[in-house]
Amino acid sequence: MSRGLKVLHVAETVRGGIATYLNELHPHQRASFGRGNVSYVVPSDHRDDLVNIEDEAVTTFPREGRNALGLFAMLSATMRAVRQQRPDIIHLHSSFAGLVVRPALWMAYRRSRIVYCPHGWAFGRETGRLSRAVTEFTELLLSKLTHRIVCISESERTDAIRVGIAAKRLVLVHNGISKQRPAHETSAAPSRSEKIKVLFIGRLDRQKGYDLLIEAARALGDILDVRLIGASVISKFRSSDLPANVSLLGWMDRHQIEAELDQADIVAIPSRWEAFGLVAIEAMRAAKPIIAFRIGALPEIVEDGVTGVLCDEVSPEQLIDGFRRAAQLDLTAIGRAGYERFIRLYDIEQTHRALSQVYAEVLQSGENKAGQEAKLQSDFPNNLRS
């Protein structure tokens, strides 16, 4: 795609996977579309999560929790950025940005093409039946105000079709990351523990299933050493409840995380629901096997017994059985197989090329529609005389 295309990314929160997604994508989009043509609207307290992105490319808004004031601030910042930058593509990330921004853009600013990536459907989360039905109806309704919806996994695309979203609006674009691991400290003394060294990376919230991992660690104190990278964002977490074989490391930067990956034998992703799981491909890039539940996109990423271990039901008992299975495997060989799969399927350059094609298609369809409308207007007098 030619330089000069303007893209505005909008997110109500970026902490975690969305920040990784944007950080990985940014240098490729900037190189393709031109410096200054790729910009962002993000919460002010998450600004530092976007690394190596210049300040002039970022519009921030105040956000104190997920509430009406924060959502209004996001909308105001987005509309201000749209008026100033006049983007060709407005790329919305996650449910709340999609919910608030799409109707406003459709009513007030039709020039831009709207691309929406849910990063995991809200109706796929652990909610009540009524809440799920309302969310499904809302996403179906708003899909009609969207030029293209980017699904990051086949399971996400299948769920969208199931609730009635038109297949022609959907496109599958897998997440990707750079083949090159970030520079990291390699001089740390290796662990001398004979136990399986398990690493968890993510929010210490219910969705991520950290509590299930802690229960498994408590039951397998003789064979597991678990290290938790992260902190709670929504749930309340009490570190006093941790068994002796679990260590809490807090949030770490990318270089520190890579060093911890080097020390690990296996990466645990015990999520109760998960749209994709960027941690999975980060682990595969580091040649580490994965243990996870068979939910969301994880069965698309992890091959059971080949690149990791998949547990059939979300429960501590299944996770315990999974770790016992993992203890019988050659984890180094499993990790190497995961790395080969990563190189084949999850390179960020593939993600960038696919998204560029999505942008080109929606812009082309917009031009064709405008041309058809202009032709109808020019033919209108002749149609009256015929």
Q: Say if residue 149's pLDDT is above 80.
A: yes
Residue 128 lies in a domain: yes
pLDDT band per the 50, 70, 90 thresholds, residue 231: confident
- Give the per-residue pLDDT at 127: 73
3-state secondary structure of 195: coil
Do both 200 and 323 map to the same domain? yes
Residue 1 lies in a domain: no
pLDDT band per the 50, 70, 90 thresholds, residue 380: very low
Distance of CA 315 to CAs 121, 161, 209, 328, Å? 22, 29, 9, 21
Do both 264 and 166 map to the same domain? no
Residue 295 lies in a domain: yes
**Residues 231, 235, 237, 243, CA torsion sign:** negative
Rounded to whole angstroms, the Cα distance separating 253 from 199 reads: 15
Please write down the HEC assignment for all residues of 303-372: CECCCEEEECCCCHHHHHHHHHHHCCCCHHHHHHHHHHHHHHHCEHHHHHHHHHHHHHHHHHHHHHHHHH
Radius of gyration of the chain (CA): 22
Q: What is the pLDDT of residues 95-141, one digit of tens each?
A: 999 999 999 998 888 889 999 999 989 887 767 889 889 999 999 99
Q: Say if residue 186's pLDDT is above 90.
A: no
Residue 158 lies in a domain: yes
Domain hosting 97: range is 7-178+347-377
8-state DSSP, 16: T
pLDDT band per the 50, 70, 90 thresholds, residue 369: low
Q: What is the pLDDT of residues 260-293, one digit of tens each?
A: 999 999 999 999 988 788 899 999 999 999 999 9
Residue 191 lies in a domain: no
Q: Say if residue 235's pLDDT is above 80.
A: no
Residue 105 lies in a domain: yes
Rounded to whole angstroms, the Cα distance separating 271 from 296 reads: 9
Neighbours of 257 (CB within 10 A): 21
* Number of domains forming the structure of the chain: 2
Do both 302 and 336 map to the same domain? yes
Q: Considering only residues 238 and 337, tell me which one the structure prediction assigns the higher pLDDT.
A: 337
Residue 62 lies in a domain: yes
Do both 257 and 356 map to the same domain? no
- Give the per-residue pLDDT at 110: 81
Q: What is the pLDDT of residues 331-354, one digit of tens each?
A: 999 999 999 999 999 999 999 999
Do both 204 and 141 map to the same domain? no
Tokens of 38: 């790729």
Do both 12 and 159 map to the same domain? yes
- Give the per-residue pLDDT at 277: 81
| The Cα angle at residue 274 between residues 157 and 14, in degrees rounded to 5 | 95
DSSP string, 64-85: SSSSHHHHHHHHHHHHHHHHHH
Do both 367 and 224 map to the same domain? no
Do both 95 and 62 map to the same domain? yes
Q: Say if residue 43's pLDDT is above 90.
A: yes
Neighbours of 320 (CB within 10 A): 19
Map tokens 């919305």 to a residue: 92
Question: 59, 41 in Cβ contact below 8 A?
Answer: yes
CATH of the domain at 255: 3.40.50.2000
Which residues partner with 39 through β-bridges?
A: 8
Distance of CA 369 to CAs 144, 175, 363, 375, Å? 16, 30, 10, 10
Do both 148 and 222 map to the same domain? no
Q: Say if residue 323's pLDDT is above 80.
A: yes
Amino acid in position 311 = C
Residues whose CB falls within 8 Å of the CB of residue 183, separated by 6 or more in sequence, listed in order: 255
Average pLDDT of span 51-59: 94
What mean pLDDT, rounded, does the chain reach?
A: 89
Do both 202 and 115 map to the same domain? no
Buried b / exposed e along 125-139 (16+ C-beta atoms within 10 A): beeeeeebeebbeeb
Do both 129 and 113 map to the same domain? yes
Residue 372 lies in a domain: yes
pLDDT band per the 50, 70, 90 thresholds, residue 33: very high
Identify the CA nearest to 13 among candidates 58, 70, 87: 70
Neighbours of 336 (CB within 10 A): 15
Do both 301 and 222 map to the same domain? yes
Please tell me the pTM assigned to this model.
0.82
